[in-house]
A and B are shown apart, each in its own frame.
Chain A
Amino acid sequence: MADRSEAPVGIRLEAVSVRFRHAVAGDVDAVRSLNLTVEPGELLTLLGPSGCGKTTTLRMIAGFQAPSSGRVCIGERDVTNSMANARNIGFVFQNYALFPHLSVFENVAYGLRVRELPRQAITERVEEVLALVGLARYGRQLPHQLSGGEQQRVALARAIVIRPSVLLFDEPLSNLDAKLRVQMRLEIQRLQKRLGTTAVYVTHDQEEAMAISDRIVVMNRGEIVQQGSAETLYRRPTNQFVAQFIGRSNLLSARIVETAGDRIVLDIQGTRHAVRHRAASLAPGASVQLVVRPEAVTLVAAGQPGMLQGAVTAKIYLGDKIEYHVEVASREIEAVTYNAVARGSPEVGEHVGLRLPDDGLTVLPVEAP
C-alpha cells in the first residue's frame, strides 16, 4: 500500500455553484461560485458551521452532487459530468455506510470485486489493508458486531483499498466519543501521509480541523471566507467570522486615534492603547474591531490608568486554566489565565483592570451586519 506508484493528483473546483430549490425560501445557493485548489498529496479541511456548504462541496468532488454551474477537475481530468462510480474516489461517510449484510472482508473487497481483480489479489490487498487499520482478524465479523471505532476503521479500509485518486472524508469522527475521536484523527492523518493520497476532510469541529490539516478552508454561507494553516487562521483572521469561529475571541469596538509606521493608537471605550499593525488602509478617525483572544488579556489590580476597568462576573476553575468573565461598560469580556492558583486570584464581584498586549492583536474593519 505504502509504495504506491502513481503520483498524487490535485483537485480543482472552478466557480462551482449549487442551487437548491427550497419550498419556503425559494432558490437557495448552498455553494456560491466557489474556487478551490487542493494540492497533490495535501490534506485539506473544509471547516464551517452546519449549512455552510462544506458537505455539498465535498459531495460535488465525489460526484454525489452535480454542480448547477462550474467545473470539477480531479488531476487533469474534468469530471464534472462523470458519475461517482467513474471518479476513482475513496469516500468515508459520517455514518460509515458499511454494507450491513456483508462481512468486514467483503465490505473492504467490494470495490476490488467491482474492478474485477483476480481473487488472489483481492485477498492479499484486503488483508493488507485490514492489517494497516488494525483489524487483521476481523474479516469474518459483520458490521453490527463491531464497535463504532472499529466500524470507522472498516470504512477507512474500504475507501483506501481501491487506491483512490482522492480520499474524501465527510465528518468521519462525529459519531465517536471524544477520546476515540482524538485517537482516530491522528490515525487518519498518519495514514494519509503514509499513502500520500490527496484528501479533503469535512468537519465542523475546529480543533479536529486544526489537528489534522495541512490547510484549512473556512466556509460560511456557501463561500470561502479564509484559508490557510491553523496558525494563520488563529493568529491572523481576516474577518469577524473566522475570528469568532476559530478559537474564542473578544470583539472590541475601537476608533483609530493616530497611525505611525507599524503602530496605531486605538481608543477603546475612552482608554488608549498602542498596538502593532501593518495594514496601511486604516486612517485616523476610522472605526474598527479589535480581536482579543481571552489568553491575551491579563487581569491586574483595579484603578491603574490607561486600562479597561471592569468587575468579575464569573470565575470558572478548569484545572489547567481559570476562565473569567469581566463586565466592562455593560459588555462581557472573557479572560483566561493559565497555570493559575484559584486562591489569591480575583474573585467574583471584584473590580479589576484588564491589560491588553501591544502585539498579536488583530484589527479588523467594521463589517456591515
Chain B
Amino acid sequence: MSIAASPPRGAGRLSADPATLATLLVLAALLALFVVFPLVVLLWRTFVQDGQFTVAPVLAVLLQPHHRAAFVNSLWLATLVGVLGTLLGFLFAVTATRAGLSERAVRLLDAATLLSLVSPPFTTSISFLFSFGPRGLVTYHLLGLSGVSVYGLTSTLCAEVLTYFPLAYLTLRPMLASIDGSIEDAAFSLGASRWRMFRTVTMPLAIPGFANAFLLLFAASLADFATPLILAGNQFPVLPTEAYLQITGLFDMTGGAALSFVLLVPATAVYLLQRYWVGRRHFVTVTGKAGARSAIPRVSPAAKLSLVLACVAVASFMAFLYALLFYASIVVAFGANDALTLNHYHVIFTEGLKAIGDTLIIAGIGMPLGGLYGVLVGYLIGRGRFVGRQLLEVVSMINYALPGTIVGIAYLIAFNDPPIALTGTALIIIACYVFRYSPSGIRATVALLSQIDRSIEEASQSLGARSTTTFRRIMLPLLVPAFFAGLGVVFIRSMTAISATIFLVSVGWTLITVRILENMTELSLGPAAAFSVFVIVVVLAVLGAVNALLRRYRATVGGAAAGFTAA
C-alpha cells in the first residue's frame, strides 16, 4: 500500500484532525528520541572524533586479527545457521502439511517449535553444557569422555539451529499450506510420481519461502548474543560478543561502537534484501476458487514414516534438553550430586527476588505500553494519509531489525550523559523493549486493518463521529486481537531478551536473564536452571492467558481476528 496507490478520498483527513495530529507528533517525537537519536549518536561516536570525520575506529576493527576473525566467524556461523535451520524448518513444515498427520499430531509439532520461541535465548545453550560439557550427561556420564571441550563452532551452531529453526518453520509452513491442492493434483493427473511432483511443483513453489527463512535465520544468528557468549568460547569469537566485551571489559565505547557498525552493515543488507526482494516475491497459486485437496496422501507410507521419525528425533532431543534443564534445577549439583532439592528455587526467590520483581515490573509496564504503541502506529501506517507515512513505517521497524547488541550499545552511549541521562533507570529498559519488540503488534494491526473495510470508518464518520470517537468506539474494539498480539510479544521478550538490555541494567534495575548469565559465569548452574524454568513457566502461563482472553473475545465479537503467534 503506497500513498500513490490509494484513492484520494479522506486525503489529509488525519493531519487536519487535531487529536490525530497530536498523536502523530507525540509518536514522532518518541521515535526520534528512542530510535533515531541513539542510532545517530552511535554513528557519530564511530565516525567523528574531536569534530573530525574519521574511519580510523572502523579500520582498527577490520585490521585487528581477532576482530576480523569475529567478523568472518559471524558471517560463517549465520550462513550455516541459515542453511541448516531452514532445512530443519522445512522438514517440520513438510511433515505438518504433507504427511497427512492428524490435527493433534500437528499441534504437537507446533508445541515442539513454540517452546524455543518462548524460552530465554540461551536455555538451549545451558542444556548443551549440561549434556555435552566437561561433566555433561552425554559426554562424561554416558560416553565416559573426559576433557571434552563443548565450546566452539559446532555446539554454537547446533544450539542456534535448535533455537531458531522454528522461525523457518513458521515461514515455510503457511507457504506450503497455501499451495493450492489442485496444482499438485494436476501433476498427479499428468502421471508424475509423488517424489517428482514434490521436486518439480511443491519445492519450486516454496523457493521464496526458503529465501525468506534463510534470511530470517541469518539475521537471527548474526544478532545472537547469548548463545555464543556461553558456547562459542575463546577460539571462536563473533561480533556481538566482541562488542560486548569491548564495552564491559575494556570500557572502550568507541571500539564497541565501531564493532557494532561492522555488524550493522551485513544486518542492514540482509534486512533490505528480505524486505524489498524476497518479501515481494511469491507465486499466487490460487487463481480461482481453491480446489479441494485430494484425498490421496501426498507422501508414500515409507516417506511419511521417515519424516515423522526425523521430527520425533529432533523434538525428542529438544525435550531432552528441556528435561535436563528442569532436572538441573532440582538437584543439588548437576553431574556431581543428584540429590533432589528445592534449594535453587529458594535461592532465586530470595537472592534473586529483586531480579524477578524488576523483570516483572518492567515487563508489566512495557506490556500495555507496547500493545498500545503497536496499535497506534499500526493504525497510522495502515489508515493514515499524511506525508511521511512510509518514513514512520521504516523508522518504527529499525530497532526491531537491528541486532540487539547494536541497539543496546546505542542506548548506552546515547542516554549515558545529559541532556538525556537515563542510564540506571527502569525507563531506559522499558523504552528499549517497547520500541524494539512492538513492531510485531504494528504488523498485526496493519494486517488486521487490511481485512477491515474502510467503509466501516466512513459509516462512523457519516453518523457524525469525530476521528477520536471513531477510533475509540469502532476501530479499537476491532483491533483488540492485534493489541493483544503486540502486548504478548512485548511481554515474552521482556522476560527472555538479553542482547540489548544487558548494556542497560544497573544496580537499581536488573533482569532475570542477566542474572542467569551471571550465574553461568559464576558456575552456579542450579540457580541458572531454576531461573530459566521460572521464566518459561511464567511466559507460557501469560501466553496461555492472553490466548484464552483472545479466544473468548473472538467468540463474543467474532469476525476478522488475527491469530496470535509468539514470533
Chain A residues in the interface with B (C-beta under 8 A): 55, 59, 62-66, 83-86, 88-91, 93-101, 110-111, 114-115, 143-144, 148, 151, 158-159, 162, 168, 170, 174-175
A97, B193: Cβ atoms under 8 Å? no
Give a binary string over B294-324; 1 marks a CB under 8 Å from any A CB, 0 the rest: 1110000000000000000000000000000
B189, A65: Cβ atoms under 8 Å? no
B190 neighbours in A (Cβ, 8 Å): 85, 110-111, 114, 158, 162
* Alpha-carbon separation in the docked complex, A86 to B194 (Å): 11
Shortest Cβ distance from B203 into A: residue: A101
Complex partner residue of A64 from B185, B196, B287, CB under 8 angstroms: B185
Chain B residues in the interface with A (C-beta under 8 A): 180, 182-183, 185-194, 196-197, 200-201, 204-205, 207, 283-292, 294-296
A94, B288: Cβ atoms under 8 Å? yes
A95, B296: Cβ atoms under 8 Å? no
Complex partner residue of A99 from B201, B284, B294, CB under 8 angstroms: B201
B188 CB to nearest A CB, Å = 4
Most A CB contacts (10 A, CB to CB) among B192, B284, B287 go to B287
B289, A174: Cβ atoms under 8 Å? yes
* Alpha-carbon separation in the docked complex, A110 to B183 (Å): 12
B186, A114: Cβ atoms under 8 Å? no
* Alpha-carbon separation in the docked complex, A66 to B196 (Å): 22
B189, A99: Cβ atoms under 8 Å? no
Shortest Cβ distance from A90 into B: residue: B189
B296, A91: Cβ atoms under 8 Å? no
A175, B191: Cβ atoms under 8 Å? no
A100, B294: Cβ atoms under 8 Å? no
B294, A91: Cβ atoms under 8 Å? no
B293 CB to nearest A CB, Å = 9
Could you pull out 8 A-B pairs where Cβ atoms are within 8 angstroms? Answer: A85-B192, A89-B189, A97-B183, A101-B207, A110-B187, A110-B192, A162-B191, A175-B289
Shortest Cβ distance from B200 into A: residue: A110
A101 CB to nearest B CB, Å = 5
B185, A144: Cβ atoms under 8 Å? no
* Alpha-carbon separation in the docked complex, A65 to B292 (Å): 11
Say yes or no: A64-B294 contact (C-beta < 8 A), given A101-B283, A110-B190, A114-B196.
yes
Shortest Cβ distance from A146 into B: residue: B287
B551 CB to nearest A CB, Å = 19
SS class, residues of chain B in contact with chain A: loop
Shortest Cβ distance from A93 into B: residue: B182
Complex partner residue of A88 from B187, B191, B200, CB under 8 angstroms: B191
A114, B191: Cβ atoms under 8 Å? yes
Complex partner residue of B296 from A84, A111, A114, CB under 8 angstroms: A84
* Alpha-carbon separation in the docked complex, A170 to B294 (Å): 13
Complex partner residue of B287 from A59, A114, A151, CB under 8 angstroms: A151
* Alpha-carbon separation in the docked complex, A100 to B182 (Å): 12
A144 neighbours in B (Cβ, 8 Å): 283-284, 287
A114 neighbours in B (Cβ, 8 Å): 190-193, 196
A85, B193: Cβ atoms under 8 Å? yes
* Alpha-carbon separation in the docked complex, A219 to B285 (Å): 31
Which 7 residue pairs of A and B lie closest in terms of their CB atoms, listed nearest first? A111-B190, A95-B288, A97-B182, A91-B189, A175-B288, A100-B283, A97-B186
B291, A94: Cβ atoms under 8 Å? yes
Say yes or no: A100-B284 contact (C-beta < 8 A), given A64-B294, A65-B295, A93-B182.
yes
Most B CB contacts (10 A, CB to CB) among A85, A97, A115 go to A97
B196 neighbours in A (Cβ, 8 Å): 114
Shortest Cβ distance from B207 into A: residue: A101
Shortest Cβ distance from B193 into A: residue: A85
B283 neighbours in A (Cβ, 8 Å): 100-101, 144
B287 neighbours in A (Cβ, 8 Å): 95-98, 100, 143-144, 151, 175
A93, B296: Cβ atoms under 8 Å? no
Shortest Cβ distance from A83 into B: residue: B296
B192 neighbours in A (Cβ, 8 Å): 85, 110-111, 114
B167 CB to nearest A CB, Å = 24
